[in-house]
């Protein structure tokens, strides 16, 4: 967690590059406009009213898709991890789907569902569910056998063993998967927007590119970077709060 809240001195190289860029680049450089031009381009988008709806649209779909992915991925992961037969029968299929690059889901969904908001949501949820599902399965299998025996000797029913032992014991693994899912879901959200022109930040980026408005492209890239960093940071905080109940050894993983 400390790695995400670093000493500010570490920002020096990035700051130096931006400052030098600003000082050295001509104000109307066609391909590499200076950072202040990025800022003006983003402000222009904000004042003409196209930025805010796009940001809201992107973040909302991202959040909803990630939520569905978390619930579905965790539930399926617990099922696959707990029931040995399901795990063995689905093993090879999962292994193949794991190696399949997630972006291929986009054209499949586009063909089957058309360009619609529900298609966008489906694609985000399906792709982001993978890392969560796979990590949860691994987490369930890593639950110490002794813990299940202790639970059985305390006469816990199967349901209560799953609910009080397996599910909480898999939460750290879920969070590892969620960390991957967060960055994947951002990528997929933008990809769908670029691919289908469904409203969002991705569309504004493509517009900037088509109009040869390089300042807008750089500005939105920086904006997306800031948003992604903020989301990562926010997630790290949530993770820290949840894991405060776990031994430091597990939490640091």
Partner 1 sequence: MSVAQAPSPVFALRDLGYSVSIREGVREILAGVSFELAEREILSIVGASGTGKTSLLRIVAGLVAQSSGELSFRGVPVSGPPLGVAVVFQDYANALLQWRTVAGNVLLGIERRFSRAECNDRVASALSLVGLERHARDYPWQLSGGMQQRVQIARALALAPSVLLMDEPFASLDALTKSSLQDEMLRLRDETGASFVFITHDIEEAIYLGDRVAVLRGRPGTIAECHPVGLGRERDQVGTRAAPEFLRLRQHLHGAIGAHA
Partner 2 sequence: MNARPLLSGLGGIGLFLGLWQLIIGSGLIEYDFLPSPWAILGGLWAMLGDREFYEEALHTLAATLGGWVIAVVLGVGLGALLGSSTTCRRYSLASVEVLRPLPAVAFVPLALLLFGFSLQMELLVIVAPALWPSLINTMEGFAGVPQRLSDVAASFRLSPIERLLRIDLPAAAPSVLVGLRLSLSLALVMSVVAEMVGNPQGLGYGLVREQQALNPERMFGYVLVIGLVGVCLNAILVMASGWILPGQFRRPQAGWDTP
Closest to partner 1 by CB, 9 vs 145, is 145
249 counts as binding partner 2 under rule CB under 8 A: no
Q: How far apart are the first and last CA of the chain?
A: 11
Count of chain residues binding partner 2 (CB under 8 A): 63
Q: For residues 124 and 66, is the Cβ–Cβ distance under 8 A? A: yes
Binding to partner 1 (CB under 8 A): which residues in 133-162? 144, 146-147, 149-156, 160
194 counts as binding partner 2 under rule CB under 8 A: yes
Close Cβ partners of 211 (under 8 Å, ≥ 6 residues apart): none
3-state secondary structure (DSSP) of residue 54: helix
Q: For residues 235 and 179, is the Cβ–Cβ distance under 8 A? A: yes
CB of 143 to partner 2, least distance (A): 18
Whole-angstrom CA distances from 6 to 1, 160, 201, 222 are 9, 42, 28, 20
Binding to partner 2 (CB under 8 A): which residues in 104-163? 104, 106-108, 110-112, 131, 134, 138
49-88 mask for partner 2 (x: CB under 8 A)? ------------------------------------x--x
Q: For residues 102 and 130, is the Cβ–Cβ distance under 8 A? A: yes
Whole-angstrom CA distances from 52 to 83, 164, 182, 187 are 46, 43, 21, 19
Q: Using the rule CB under 8 A, which residue among 168, 229, 230, 234 binds partner 1?
A: 168
Distance (Å, whole) CA 136 – CA 118: 26
223-252 mask for partner 1 (x: CB under 8 A)? ----------------------xxxx-x--
Q: Residue 250 binds what, of partner 1, partner 2, none (CB under 5 to 8 Å, by partner type)?
A: partner 1
Closest to partner 1 by CB, 238 vs 250, is 250
Distance (Å, whole) CA 122 – CA 133: 16
**Residues within the interface to partner 2 (CB under 8 A):** 3-4, 6-14, 31, 85, 88-93, 95-104, 106-108, 110-112, 131, 134, 138, 180, 183, 186-187, 190-191, 194-195, 202, 205-206, 208-209, 212, 214, 217-218, 220-221, 224-225, 228-229, 231-232
């Amino acid at each position: 967690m400390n790695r995400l809240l670093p000493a500010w001195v570490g920002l020096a190289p990035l700051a130096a590059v931006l400052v030098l860029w600003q000082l050295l680049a001509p104000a109307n450089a066609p391909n590499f406009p200076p950072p202040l031009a990025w800022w003006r381009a983003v402000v222009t988008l904000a004042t003409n009213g196209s930025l805010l709806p796009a940001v809201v649209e992107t973040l909302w779909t991202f959040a909803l898709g990630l939520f569905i992915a978390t619930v579905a991925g965790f539930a399926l992961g617990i099922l696959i991890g707990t029931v040995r037969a399901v795990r063995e029968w689905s093993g090879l299929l999962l292994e193949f789907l794991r190696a399949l690059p997630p972006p291929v889901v986009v054209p499949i969904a586009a063909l089957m569902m058309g360009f619609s908001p529900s298609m966008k949501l489906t694609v985000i949820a399906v792709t982001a569910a993978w890392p969560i599902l796979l990590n949860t399965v691994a987490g369930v299998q890593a639950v110490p056998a002794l813990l299940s025996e202790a639970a059985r000797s305390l006469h816990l029913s199967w349901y209560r063993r799953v609910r009080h032992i397996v599910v909480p014991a898999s939460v750290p693994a879920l969070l590892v998967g969620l960390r991957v899912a967060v960055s994947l879901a951002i990528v997929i959200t933008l990809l769908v927007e670029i691919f289908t022109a469904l409203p969002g930040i991705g569309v504004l980026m493509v517009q900037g590119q088509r109009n040869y408005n390089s300042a807008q492209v750089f500005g939105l890239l920086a904006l997306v970077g800031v948003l992604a960093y903020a989301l990562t940071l926010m997630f790290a905080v949530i993770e820290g709060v949840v894991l405060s109940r776990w031994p430091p050894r597990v939490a640091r993983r």
